[in-house]
Amino acid sequence: MKKLLKFTPMFLLFIGLASCSSVKVAADYDREANFDNYKTFAFFKPGIDKAEINDIDKRRILRAIEAELMAKGYTKSQNPDMLVSIFTKSNQRVDIYNNAWGRGAWGWGGYGGWGWRTGWNNNQVSTTTEGMLFIDLIDADKKELIWQGSGTGSLETRNMEKKEARIKEFVSEMMLLFPPDKQ
């Protein structure tokens, strides 16, 4: 019992950190597609070229996707069953925090008499860039979308190691949903 109590705080911390992923992911897929038939993949250059992101980040994303697919047992091929494409979007997210405590109202306000008092009533504005990454998996023969994953999260990072880790986090969280579990 003492051993169990000893590891409980560490376990709770791990659960708390795991549940606080800062990337929101979703996936959609073609229910008619038989994902057991797909064994090989290649990148779809025309689709990737249209992604509005710099070439360095494209390569980071593609390396992360390739690593995830290979870890799942897929093989990169010149004659693939599946094509991989990406699409990116970014939005500015503006959060306004109103710290309206103190004298921010009509009424008697100390030295100035009757009227509007601003006091500690200040707004704080925070702006961050929120990015979306879409990974499209396309049936190579039919040229039809069979699976799409999307990930949304903050992109603000100037540190290259953190940026690369953030991209890997986006891709790995999304690829947890592939192949779909058809139940």
Give the residue from 171, 169, 128 showing the smallest Cα distance to 18: 169
- pLDDT, tens digit, 9 for 90 and up, residues 141-177: 999 999 999 999 886 667 888 889 989 999 999 999 9
Q: What is the pLDDT of residue 114?
A: 55
Which one has a higher pLDDT value, 112 or 62?
A: 62
Which one has a higher pLDDT value, 106 or 77?
A: 77
Q: What is the pLDDT of residue 6?
A: 46
Instruction: Quote the tokens at residue 114.
Output: 């009757």
Domains belonging to the chain, first-starting first, are 23-90+130-175 (3.30.160.670)
Average pLDDT over residues 41-53: 94
Which one has a higher pLDDT value, 26 or 113?
A: 26
Q: What is the pLDDT of residue 128?
A: 67
- pLDDT, tens digit, 9 for 90 and up, residues 101-143: 555 455 555 555 555 555 555 677 776 667 899 999 999 999 9
pTM of the full structure = 0.70
pLDDT category at 84 given cuts 50, 70, 90 is: very high
Helix axes 55-71, 160-175, angle to 10 degrees: 40
C-beta separation of 152 from 23 below 8 A = yes
3-state secondary structure of 22: coil
Q: What is the pLDDT of residue 96?
A: 75
C-beta separation of 91 from 113 below 8 A = no
24-29: strand order across its sheet: 24-29, 144-154, 122-139, 82-99, 40-43, 75-76
Residue 4 has pLDDT above 70, yes or no: no
Average pLDDT value over all residues in the chain? 80
Q: Give me the percent of the chain exceeding a pLDDT of 90.
A: 52
pLDDT category at 49 given cuts 50, 70, 90 is: very high
Q: What is the pLDDT of residue 22?
A: 84
